[in-house]
Amino acid sequence: MVRRQLTKPRKAATQERSRATVDALVEATARILVREGFDKASTNRIAEVAGVSVGSLYQYFPGKEALVAAVIERHQQEVMQTVRGELAEALAEPVDKAVRKLVAVAVKAHRVDPRLHRVLAEQVPRVGKLEKVETFNRENYTLFRTYLESHRDELYVGDLDLASFVCVTAIEALTHNAVLHYSGTLSEEMMEALIDEGARLVTGYLRG
């Protein structure tokens, strides 16, 4: 007996219709996360909001975790899309220019979808396969380290690994906190001021 398991396939959308379903599910998950919070995001609710049946949900996703992972991935794609160009530019510049650009890019990245970013940071438990966020940060780290290597003569630092860790951590935390905790009260001028300060912080550190 072949005993095909009806609910196994999970993700293999070939037709147009099914791709729309998958999209709707991911979108619904994101919406619920932002508007209602992580623990309101039950599979039933997601399916409901997506205008799809729970059965269909399980046809493409093995569970809630996978949905959230998909949301994270989609968000990261969007962030990279809007940031990739400027990031590349920055890598060609000398330290002071580059750092300032990096801080500005970090701010921009956090502004792509602040409310989603916030939920992902504050409510989504970092367990199981949801370590994607960390993987993402490790990419930043590696990228930055590479930059430092190729500009070593301009720098006053001993350990490049340590320096990368310090800089990436500081920039990330600064922009993260600024955008996510003062999002309402944050004018453009203040944003500029913050970028200046962040750049000064890191530049000063790198050049001794």
Instruction: Say how far apart CA 42 and CA 139 lie, in whole Å.
Output: 31
79 binds, among DNA, a second copy, none (CB under 5 to 8 A by kind): none
Range in contact with DNA (rule: CB under 7 A) among 3-11, 82-90, 145-153, 172-180: 3-11
Instruction: Say how far apart CA 177 and CA 107 lie, in whole Å.
Output: 10
Measured distance between the N- and C-terminal CA atoms of the chain, rounded to whole angstroms:
73
Q: Which is nearer to DNA, 1 or 88 (CB)?
A: 1
> Binding mask 154-173 vs a second copy (x if CB under 8 A, - otherwise)?
-----x--xx-xx--xx-xx
128 binds, among DNA, a second copy, none (CB under 5 to 8 A by kind): none
63 belongs to the binding site for DNA (CB under 7 A)? yes
- The phi-psi region of residue 10 (left if phi > 0; otherwise alpha if psi is between -120 and 50; otherwise beta) is left
Instruction: Say how far apart CA 190 and CA 173 lie, in whole Å.
Output: 17
**Interface with DNA (CB under 7 A):** 5-7, 9, 12-18, 20-21, 39-40, 42-45, 51-56, 58-60, 62-64
